[in-house]
Amino acid sequence: MPAMVDIDKRGENDAKPVYKVIEAIRRGEAVDPTLHPDMESLEGVIDVDMFNLYYGDTRALFDINMAIPRGKVTALIGPSGCGKSTLLRSINRMNDLIAGVRVQGRMTLNGSPIYAPHVDVIGLRKRLGMVFQKPNPFPMSIYENVVYPLRIDGENRKSVLDEACERALRSAAIWDEAKDRLKQSALGLSGGQQQRLCIARAVVADPEVLLLDEPCSALDPIATLRIEELIREIAKRYTVLIVTHNMQQAMRVSDYTAFMYLGRLVEYGPTSGIFRRPILTETEEYVTGRFG
Amino acid sequence: MTETTDPIRVRSAPAGSKGSMPFRATPPSALGEPMIWLTGGALVLCLVMIVGLVAMIITQGISTFWPRPIDRVTLNDGTVFLGVPTEFQEDPPQTLYRTGNRDIGTEPFRWVSQSDIQSIDRPEYAVMLERSAWSVWLGIPERAILVNDQGEPTIVAEGPKAVLAFIDEHHAKARARWHEIESLKKHDLGRVNKRIEASRLRVREAELATRREQKPGGNFGLGAFVLVLGLGIASAGAAWYVGRLFMRGDEQQQLEGPSRGMRSLRMALVLVSLGLLLAAWLHAPWKDRNITEAGLAEIRQAAAEREAKYQDQYAIILARIAELEAQDERYRLEVIDPRTGRFAPARQTEPDNPMRLSQIVRLVDTNAMGSSEKVGVYLSRWWEFLAHPPREANTEGGVFPVIVGTVMLTLLLTFTVTPLGVIAALYLREYAPQGIVTSTVRIAVNNLAGVPSIVYGVFGLGFFCYTVGSYIDVGSDPSVRLPAPWWWVLLATTFLAFVAGYAASVWAKPVPGSEPTTMNRVLAWTARLLWVGVFIGVVVLIVRTPYFNGFFEARAADGSPTFGSRGMLWAALTLALLTLPVVIVSTEEAIAAVPNSMREGSYGCGASKWQTIRRIVLPGAMPGILTGAILAMARGAGEVAPLMLVGAVKLNEDLPISTNAPFLHFDRSFMHLGFHIYDLGFQSPDSQAARPLVWTTTLLLLTIVVSLNLIAIIIRARLRARLSGSTV
Ligand SMILES: Nc1ncnc2c1ncn2[C@@H]1O[C@H](COP(=O)(O)OP(=O)(O)OP(=O)(O)O)[C@@H](O)[C@H]1O
Ligand SMILES: [Mg+2]
């Protein structure tokens, strides 16, 4: 077992662990990600293949290769600025909105390329729900916020909207709090409620994949807990990709975890593997909070 | 505390003073007080000036209509006159009396030195008559005369008291009669006149139609028409079908949208169908209105018959007017001016004919009035001011048409400039690539705000009134009209350029996520050039079309242009141009202030750019847009200079809004408060009498602008509250 070997090695160098991979990355060498067994054979909803991204002249993602497994929760972890958000945002092509962004490589959703000339970006985004780090409810009523994705599809039948709104609010675990104030401004909700509202908005149109970018970073522990429960709940129906800085959270909610560093994918495997038997020293040090 | 090496502390806390607090001196200039005084003082100065201005306008403006006492002044040289004291001067002490009675040649205002005055009293029966012409008359009512049916005058009342009683009894009836005469002249005669005019215009139209070459493109048979129409509909259907083909992508869950070739093809099909439908419409066989000479004669005949009928109606109304006027002539008054001993004449040219009772608009015998009666006069003067048209070269009567003109102009201006400015700002902020060109445009737009407004007036007159207006009136200039075949060739070329430009810009988009290639750049420039070509083509197509003869050709040929002269629409557009920078700047700021997280949220939901703008950006920017509209409104309502060129006139009682179709008459010239103030103050024959009205009119203008703004501000406050979530 490679993991066992790793831990043994660490025992020898207790004072100063050797970060072979990270040293190599810092030197600017190309490093292959360390994949746990079985990861190669995963069937991915989203397949990332030698993906690079540049902000103007600065390169933010380096040869990312990974498959996001269908129907599972995948967590992206890594120190600040390592490109987690960038990767997440390139899946629904949010980076198109930033001037000077260039990409290389391939990324596919259900096998069809995301970065191809004829791709209907709007159609693509309709199939991927996204929740941002900071809650961003629109300045309208709670109801209108939730049904926004349906409204822009031209759906105006009240019965359909009402039903979808209730379903989405229930699956975002905010129905009980919001049902009596649907017509009131969403800005009157608390931060945690707003974030759950955003989750409701992201799931109301039944996306295939839910992209969550640090959804709990602005929330207190209780709200965080509720959202975590919610993610587990939602994961029964959707594929979820979540960025988080909170190791416990990654451990609690995700099935797979990818550790990124300086724009590279470093180690990728089942969450239990990453947290209990990581292959690389640096991963272990990072998930235990000793490095990062 | 150990010795520190910190240089500040070393300097301020000398060695040896161990234990004392370190001391850092603050120079007095760094303390707050002087700056507080300076900044606060400047603000107070500004406020005092503004408050002073407003207070002056209000006090002067509201006191104008208060009835003042009528003095009988006896001078040392024995002259006696009636006057209303209006102004006093200390050194040397003298008084300005309003003496009126302009029609018998006296000065209507007169400065009298205090030392020349022997005595002053206020006779109970002194009256000030506000007359329908020749301004006020001050005098003592002495006789009332009733002329009988044979034309013999009888004195029915003698002495002020009896005369006043006579006036009390008959004045209302006399005025009613007079109003009826006016109304008959204005409305009934006007209506008949309009019918005669319309009938003449119909003949004129027919004449023009016979003279003009029918169908510049030659005749278009029914068969050809059906063919072209059919082709047009077929290609429209094909365009729809090509679009449809790719809507099915949803069901197949593919990411690909329509290919670039297909998109270009669809655009080409749309344009082809548009062109064919246009051809079918322009050449529809039933539009052939061949009017022969015989037909024309028939039309003339019909018109002559109609006009004869109208002339009869005209005569009936005239007879009624004559009858009422005869009645009116019977009631006469002698109101004596004590200085000359002469009575107020019916006309300036007939000094021996005493005035008619109906000439009195309002009789004010201030000296005999209690305060409640004075308040009554005050209010009735305000009412006349607000609700009646002006008289006497605008120096008397009301300003109703002026108010209507100002309010309508301001509203029209606001509703034109706001959408225009918002669209321009949206393009600048949301669509245009942010680069040198965009920044230059932005700076240029901002600088437009500094161009003197009269320049806009000149431009408005030259471009809107004389160019665009006359195009609307009489169509394209015959000397530049293209022969029909060439016009169609140009149309086809323009469409071709459009499709090519569209295709080029579709292909100019780089592969997502990569740098534009040289090919992309070349295509982008080609597209830009083609768009410029399309623009020029469209302009030429419109200016030189052989098909358009204007909407008001007959009227223009009759010498009364409709839109081809100064009018409210062009004034509003000129002011819109003038206030455009204000709206663009504040809208741009408002759009930029909409947080990007909102846009990202919307895009993340799968909204298109336009949906994001319409549902997120615009509502979020709405308070800022309203701020722009408010500023534009305030600036536009106060502009006078350009209006003098493009549409404001001294007198036009035909309101731009009426109960006759089409209800809004934006082609008419109009009266405007700003111009009215200028006219009252500097252009009126009796500027002394008009001066108090200047204040009142200013007060009114101020009130109107403030209340329009207030409405907008309230709406904005509501919107803000809704956006920030503090109310539902
Ligand atoms: N709009 C941008 N323009 C230029 N560089 C950017 C932009 N956005 C991100 N970057 C850079 O790309 C790198 C990755 O950023 P990213 O936001 O993906 O990090 P992250 O892993 O999400 O960090 P965090 O955990 O702090 O959110 C960073 O070095 C950042 O400076
Ligand atoms: Mg991030």
Instruction: Give the 3-state DSSP-derived string for B640-683, with helices as H, strands as E and coil as C.
Output: CHHHHHHCECCCCCCCCECCCCCCECCCCCECCHHHHHHHHHHH
The predicted structure's pLDDT at residue B8: 47
CA of A55 to the centre of ligand 1 (A): 9
Contact B512 A152 (CB under 8 A): no
The DSSP bridge partners found for residue A67 are A47
Spatial distance between the Cα atoms of B505 and B264, rounded to a whole number of angstroms: 10
**Distance, CA A59 to ligand 2 centroid (Å)?**
16
Q: What pLDDT is recorded for position A36?
A: 85
Instruction: Report the C-alpha gap between B425 and B447 in whole angstroms.
Output: 15
Q: Which CATH code is given to the segment(s) B397-475+549-724?
A: 1.10.3720.10
- How many other CB atoms sit within 10 Å of the CB of residue B226? 12
- Rounded average pLDDT over B685-707: 86
Burial class, B29, CB count within 10 angstroms (exposed 0-12 / middle 13-18 / buried 19+): exposed
Which is the closest atom of ligand 1 to the Cα of A83?
18
Q: What pLDDT band is residue A159 in, cutting at 50, 70 and 90?
A: very high
Q: A18 alpha carbon to ligand 1 midpoint, in Å?
A: 27
Pairwise pLDDT comparison (B420 vs A111), residue with the higher score? B420
Chain A residue numbers touching B602 (CB-CB < 8 A): 138, 148
Percentage with pLDDT > 70 across chain A: 94
The CA distance from B273 to A165, in Å, is: 42
Q: Tell me the CA distances in angstroms from A88 to A84, B35, B100, one per residue in order.
A: 6, 52, 87
Nearest to A120 by CA among A146, A78, A97, A92: A92
Please determine, for residue B13, whether its predicted confidence score (pLDDT) is greater than 50: no
Residue bearing the CA closest to ligand 1, atom 14: A83
- Position of tokens 């000129």? B574
pLDDT digits (tens, 9 = 90+) for A219-247: 778 878 888 888 888 888 889 999 999 89
Half-sphere exposure of A6 (CA within 13 A, CB side): 19
**CB-based contact A118 B260, cutoff 8 Å:** yes
% of chain A with per-residue pLDDT over 90: 39
How many C-alpha atoms does B719 have within 13 Å on its Cβ side?
16
Residues from chain B contacting residue A183 (CB–CB below 8 Å): 728
Ligand 1 close to Cβ of residue A260 (< 6 A) = no
B18-27, B590-599, B679-688: which is most confident: B590-599
Poorest-confidence range of A99-113, B111-125, B375-389, B646-660? B646-660
Residues of A (89-108) whose Cβ lies below 8 Å from B: 92-97, 99, 101-104
Asked whether the predicted pLDDT for residue B666 surpasses 80, the reply is: yes
Mean pLDDT of chain A: 86
For residue A6, the model assigns a pLDDT of 46
Does residue B105 or residue A268 have the better pLDDT? A268
Confidence of residue A279 (pLDDT cuts 50, 70, 90): confident
Q: What number is the average pLDDT over the span B39-63?
A: 93
Tokens of B3: 């010795």
Tell whether ligand 1 has an atom less than 6 A from the beta carbon of residue A80. Answer: yes
How far off is chain A from B516, nearest CA to CA, in Å? 10
pLDDT higher at B426 or A284: B426
A264 alpha carbon, distance to own chain's centre: 16
Which residues does B124 contact at the CB level (< 8 Å), separation at least 6?
B160, B365, B367, B368
- Residues B642/B453, Cβ–Cβ less than 8 Å: yes
Asked if B127 and B138 touch (Cβ cutoff 8 Å), the reply is yes
pLDDT, residue B9, reads: 47
Q: Rounded mean pLDDT of B129-149?
A: 88
Query: Which residue from A115, A123, A126 is facing B513, i.e. has the nearest CB?
Result: A115
- The answer to whether A86 and A96 have CB atoms below 8 angstroms apart is no
Instruction: Give kind and range of the element (H or E) at residue A236.
Output: none
Q: Which residue has the higher pLDDT, B392 or B87?
A: B87
End-to-end CA distance of chain A: 26
**Residue A14: is its pLDDT beyond 60?**
no
Q: How far apart are the C-alpha atoms of B487 and B493, rounded to whole Å?
A: 10
Q: CA distances (Å), B76 to each of A158, B116, B119, B122, B255, in order? A: 91, 6, 8, 18, 105
Segment A188-194 mean pLDDT = 88
How does residue A42 score in pLDDT terms, banded at 50, 70 and 90? Answer: confident
Q: How many CB atoms lie within 10 A of CB B23?
A: 12
pLDDT of B21 reads 67
- For residue A53, give the chain B residue with the closest CA: B513
Which tens digit of pLDDT belongs to each residue from A208-220? 899 999 888 877 7
The better pLDDT of the pair B448, B222 is held by B448
pLDDT surpassing 50 at residue B703: yes
Extract the tokens encoding B531: 């768009």
- Considering only CA atoms, which of A121, A218, A236, A208 is closest in space to residue B249? A121
User: How far, in Å, from the CA of B600 to the mean position of ligand 1?
Assistant: 16
* Cβ neighbours of A140 in B, within 8 Å: 619
Which residue out of A52, A54, A55 has the highest number of ligand 1 atoms within 8 Å of its CB and is therefore the one to mutate?
A: A55
For residue A266, the Cα-to-chain-centroid distance in whole angstroms is 16
Q: Say what the alpha-carbon torsion angle B485, B491, B497, B498 is, to the nearest 10 degrees.
A: -160
Task: Identify the helix (H) or strand (E) that includes residue A138.
Answer: none
Task: Enumerate the residues of chain A whose CB falls inside 8 A of the CB of residue B513.
Answer: 53, 95-96, 101-104, 115
Which of A136, A153, A190, A217 is best to mutate for the B interface (most B CBs within 10 A)?
A136
Q: Which residue reads 């109960």 in tokens? A: B659
How far is A20 from chain B, CA to nearest CA, in Å?
33
* Å between B511 CA and nearest CA of chain A: 5
Residue A136: per-residue pLDDT? 92
The band of A11, judged by pLDDT with boundaries at 50, 70 and 90, is: very low
Q: Do B603 and A97 touch (CB under 8 A)?
A: yes
Residue B578 DSSP SS3: helix
Q: Which amino acid is at B462?
A: G
B458-497 burial string, b = 16+ CB within 10 Å, else e?
A: ebbbebbbbebbbbbbbbbeeeebbebeebbebbeebbbb
B459-493 confidence digits (pLDDT tens): 999 999 999 999 999 888 888 888 888 898 999 99
Burial of A174 (0-12, 13-18, 19+ CB in 10 A): buried
Q: What is the structure's pLDDT at A16?
A: 61
Q: What is the pLDDT of residue A171?
A: 80
Nearest CA to A257 among A4, A20, A53, A39? A39
Pairing mode, if any, of strands A209-213 and A128-131? Answer: parallel
**Exposure string over B676-713, b if 16+ CB within 10 A, otherwise e:** bbbbbbeebebebbbbbbbbbbbbbbbebbeebbeebe
pLDDT confidence band for B216 (50 / 70 / 90): low
Residue B218: its pLDDT value, please? 60
Q: Please count the residue pairs, one from chain A and one from chain B, whose beta carbons lie less than 8 angstroms apart.
A: 135
| Nearest residue of B to residue A127, measured between CA atoms | B606
The ipTM estimated for the assembled molecules is 0.90
Q: A184: which chain B residues are within 8 Å (Cβ-Cβ)?
A: 725, 728
Give CA separation, B307 vs B194, B197, B206, in Å: 11, 9, 17
